[in-house]
Amino acid sequence: MNAAAIASAFRMEGNAVSCNPSGNGHINKTYTVTTGTGHRYILQNINHRVFQDVDALMNNVVAVTNHLRARCADPRRVLTLVPTLDGAFYTLAQDGNYYRMFEFVENSVCLDQAENENDFFQSAVAFGEFQNQLADFPADTLVETIPHFHDTIDRYRQFKEVLRRDPLGRSRDCREDIAFALVREEEGGTLVRMLQDGKLPLRVTHNDTKLNNVMLDRDTRTPLCVIDLDTVMPGLAGNDFGDSIRFGASTAEEDEPDLSKVHLSMPLYTAFTKGFLGACGKSLTPIEIETLPLAAKLITLELGVRFLTDHLQGDTYFSIHRENHNLDRCRTQFKLVSEMEAHWDEMNRVVKDVYEGLA
């Protein structure tokens, strides 16, 4: 693949003189393009095997970034798509892959891990501002780029179907994990049912609220913009809050085999809650805020169920790098669920205190 040649399909300032791999994303391949004028761009291959409706995905990205740009004076605070020479926002290259281009966000930094509580707090501010700025966006006009992504009821349906078939006979070695999941099935569908019953509003959600999807100002370490908008679609605000807690407030890696290392960090949980609600608390309904701790617990449970499902069916979705890798991932998530249950009153008290402090 000649990335420089593909880049020439876009309206750049000058011609590309370098095109180098950038970032460490698992889904899309990304390159930094520099032109003879010194202008930099991000060229990205869209993984159309994961996101099969590229046109719908890009329509989502265009609609959301246009909405955000109308509310942001600083161009660094929202991703800016670069059109192709014929005015489109993506191109189908001769290699059979789809590509898009963004303006490079200058003087910025992207962190894979928080170096301190403030980094995690600032990511919360970024995702809270994202939610706040899109509060009046008609979420139902967006397409689900991954259908039923956080439909926990459907995730359990898939899990029980695989468990019934048990194609590799693996269920006998994870009976406690299966029991852990099944005993929480009814609770697991709570937020989905609340959405269906109209008790929770449909929001524009990012659905991949990790620290490395926030661009921070290199000098001030304050948030500039949220990136990786492929999974932006209709959902629950609590899912964005919850996924950040699941990933960022755990004391261990997502696949840590030593469960004694897996704990919920209440200082990190508190820091994120303050940043998130400080930015969007006044845009959310009281019941959305009240159910934020439950959202953190259920999205963690949901991912644990997904890891367990994939383990039972032979590791067909999540890539593995060792034997029982997905089972380790499942157990880490379930341990974190147990940690949340142990800190339940404290988690709810933090949300209540922070929300009341906004008045």
pLDDT tens by residue, 21-53: 876 554 568 899 999 999 999 999 998 888 889
Q: DSSP labels for 41-53?
A: EEEEEE-TTTS--
**Which band of pLDDT confidence, cut at 50, 70 and 90, is reported for residue 226?**
very high
Mean pLDDT value across residues 242-265: 96
Q: What is the pLDDT of residue 23?
A: 66
Rg (C-alpha) for the chain, rounded Å, is 21
Q: What is the pLDDT of residue 28?
A: 61
pLDDT in tens, 82-92: 999 999 999 99
Task: List 33's β-bridge partners, or say none.
Answer: 19, 41
What rounded mean pLDDT belongs to the chain?
Answer: 94
Q: Which CATH number fits domain 3-106: 3.90.550.10, 3.30.200.20, 2.40.110.20, 3.40.1440.10?
A: 3.30.200.20
Domain with CATH 3.30.200.20 in the chain: 3-106
Residue 91 CA neighbour count, 13 Å, CB half: 22
The pair of structure tokens assigned to 196 is 């269906």
Q: Is the pLDDT of residue 293 over 80?
A: yes
Residue 7 CA neighbour count, 13 Å, CB half: 26
Mean pLDDT value across residues 269-276: 97
pTM of the model: 0.92
**Which band of pLDDT confidence, cut at 50, 70 and 90, is reported for residue 243?**
very high
Q: What is the pLDDT of residue 26?
A: 45
- The CATH number of the structural domain formed by 117-356 is 3.90.1200.10
Q: Which letter does DSSP use for residue 24 in this model?
A: -
- 3-state SS class at 250: strand
Do the Cβ atoms of 3 and 33 come closer than 8 Å? Answer: yes
Of 85-99, 109-123, 144-158, 286-300, the least confident: 109-123
Mean pLDDT value across residues 51-64: 94
Share of the chain above pLDDT 70, in %: 98
Do the Cβ atoms of 282 and 294 come closer than 8 Å? Answer: no
| Most confidently predicted of 7-16, 224-233, 337-346 | 337-346
The contacts of residue 75 (CB under 8 Å, 6+ apart) are 69, 103
Q: What is the pLDDT of residue 13?
A: 94
Say how far apart CA 156 and CA 186 lie, in whole Å. 10
Q: Is the pLDDT of residue 282 over 80?
A: yes
Domain with CATH 3.90.1200.10 in the chain: 117-356
